[in-house]
Structure 1
Amino acid sequence: RYRGLTLVLTFLSYTSYHLSRKPISIVKSQLHPNCSALGPNPHNDSNSSTWCSWAPFDGDNYKELFGALDNAFLVAYAIGMFISGIFGERLPLRYYLSGGMVLSGLFPLLFGLGYFWHIHVLWYFIVVQVCNGLVQTTGWPSVVTCVGNWFGKGKRGLIMGIWNSHTSVGNILGSLIAGVWVSSAWGLSFIVPGIIIAAVGIICFFFLVEYPEDVGCSPPLHHMASDEDPGGVTCSEKDPEGITSNEGPLSISGQSSRDHLNSPKEPAEEPEAISFLGALRIPGVVEFSLCLLFAKLVSYTFLYWLGGTFAGLISDYTGGRATTCCVMLVVAAPMLFLYNHIGQNGIGASIAMLVVCGALVNGPYALITTAVSADLGTHESLKGNAKALSTVTAIIDGTGSIGAALGPLLAGLISPTGWNNVFYMLIAADVLACLLLTRVVVKEFRGWCGPMARQRGSSVQLTESVLDGK
Structure 2
Amino acid sequence: MRSLAPGIKLITSFSRDSWYRFFILILTFVFYTTYHLSRKPISIIKSQLHRNCSNVIHPADLNITDNDTWCDWAPFDQNNYQNLFGVLDNCFLVAYAIGMFFSGIFGERLPLRYYLSTGMILSGLFTALFGLGFYWQIHSLWYYCLVQALNGLVQTTGWPAVVACVGNWFGKGKRGFIMGIWNSHTSVGNILGSLIAGVYVSSAWGLSFIVPGIIIAVAGVICFLFLVEKPEDVNCTLPQHHESVEQEPLLRNSSSNEEIFSSNTSTAVEPVEDHTEAISFCGALRIPGVVEFSLCLLFAKLVSYTFLYWLPLYIANVAHFDPKEAGDLSTLFDVGGIVGGILAGVISDYSGGRATTCCAMLIIAAPMLFLYNKIGQNGLPTTIGMLLWCGALVNGPYALITTAVSADLGTHECLRGNSRALSTVTAIIDGTGSIGAAVGPLLAGLISPTGWNNVFYMLIAADVLACLLLSRLVYKEVRGWCGYTTRQRGFKEI
Q: TM-score band, normalised by the shorter chain?
A: 0.7 to 0.9
- Whether 1:319 aligns to 2:352 is yes
Instruction: Please state how far the C-alpha of 1:115 moved relative to its aligned partner.
Output: 2.5
Superposed CA offset, 1:127-170 (max 9, x none): 10000011011101111111111111121111111111111211
| Residues 223/126 of structure 1: CA separation in 2 closer, same or farther (3 Å cut) | same
Structure 2: distance between partners of 1:90 and 1:111: 31
Superposed CA offset, 1:40-90 (max 9, x none): 562325334433433333333333322221111111111111111111111
| Structure ID, larger Rg | 1
Structure 1: distance between partners of 2:45 and 2:486: 60
In structure 2, the residue matched to 1:278 is 283
**8 Å CA contact retained: 2:27, 2:227:** yes
TM-score (norm 2): 0.79
Amino acid at match of 1:17: Y
Instruction: Please state how far the C-alpha of 1:119 moved relative to its aligned partner.
Output: 2.2
Instruction: Please state how far the C-alpha of 1:417 moved relative to its aligned partner.
Output: 5.4
Which one is further off, 265-274 or 86-95?
265-274
In structure 2, the residue matched to 1:190 is 209
Instruction: Please state how far the C-alpha of 1:340 moved relative to its aligned partner.
Output: 4.8
**8 Å CA contact retained: 1:40, 1:48:** no
In structure 1, the residue matched to 2:316 is none
Structure 2: distance between partners of 1:38 and 1:381: 65
In structure 2, the residue matched to 1:409 is 442
**8 Å CA contact retained: 2:117, 2:220:** yes
Which structure 2 segments of 5+ residues have no match?
Answer: 1-18, 309-332, 488-494
Structure 2: distance between partners of 1:110 and 1:417: 33
Moved beyond 6 Å, runs of 4+: 451-454
In structure 1, the residue matched to 2:317 is none
Instruction: Please state how far the C-alpha of 1:361 moved relative to its aligned partner.
Output: 2.4
2:365 to 332, 340, 356: 332
2:404 to 349, 360, 371: 371
**8 Å CA contact retained: 1:41, 1:51:** no
**8 Å CA contact retained: 1:287, 1:436:** yes
- Whether 1:289 aligns to 2:294 is yes
In structure 1, the residue matched to 2:230 is 211
**8 Å CA contact retained: 1:222, 1:375:** no
Instruction: Please state how far the C-alpha of 1:244 moved relative to its aligned partner.
Output: 4.3
In structure 1, the residue matched to 2:325 is none
Percent of aligned positions that are identical: 75
Instruction: Please state how far the C-alpha of 1:419 moved relative to its aligned partner.
Output: 4.8
Structure 1: distance between partners of 2:463 and 2:456: 10
The equivalences for 1:38-437 within 5 A come to 38-39=57-58, 42-222=61-241, 242=258, 244-245=260-261, 257=262, 269-303=274-308, 304-305=333-334, 306=337, 307-343=340-376, 346-415=379-448, 419-437=452-470
Instruction: Please state how far the C-alpha of 1:2 moved relative to its aligned partner.
Output: 0.8
**8 Å CA contact retained: 1:15, 1:170:** yes
Using CA pairs below 8 Å that are at least 6 residues apart, which structure has the higher relative contact order? 2
| Residues 112/340 of structure 1: CA separation in 2 closer, same or farther (3 Å cut) | closer
Residue correspondences, number = 432
Which one is further off, 65-74 or 45-54?
45-54
**8 Å CA contact retained: 1:301, 1:408:** yes
Instruction: Please state how far the C-alpha of 1:95 moved relative to its aligned partner.
Output: 0.9
Superposed CA offset, 1:381-406 (max 9, x none): 11111111111111111111122222
